[in-house]
Amino acid sequence: MKLINDTLKINGKWAHKRLMAFVSFHSMLLYVFTPTLYPTFEVKEFVVIGFLGFAGACLGIDLQQQIKINSDNNINTTTVVNNEQIG
């Protein structure tokens, strides 16, 4: 599961914001495609926008923290610091 290890883990530990973005995006996909199984189910657009907005916000905050860490260290190479962990 190289994809999961590369995207959701930093130095072998789960990244909290990345995991929340991953779950939010896939929950939105399940919500959008629910009417294929239950035709009477009504999809609300504000729920879809909320899921996408939350996923985008999590990724944006994570990216902003990484940029801040790299600029504080004044290092030209990418230094990954996982300051949020699950478990």
Low-confidence ranges of the chain (pLDDT < 70): 74-87
Number of domains into which the chain is organized? 1
pLDDT of residue 27: 95
Residue 17, in any domain of the structure: yes
pTM beyond 0.85: the answer is no
pLDDT of residue 82: 66
Residue 83, in any domain of the structure: no
Which residue range forms the structural domain that includes residue 17?
2-73
Residue 85, in any domain of the structure: no
The three-state DSSP-derived secondary structure of 23-50 is HHHHHHHHHHHHHHCCCCCCCCHHHHHH
Residue 84, in any domain of the structure: no
Helix (H, G, I), strand (E, B) or coil at 12: coil
Residue 56, in any domain of the structure: yes
Residue 28, in any domain of the structure: yes
pLDDT of residue 80: 62
Residue 86, in any domain of the structure: no
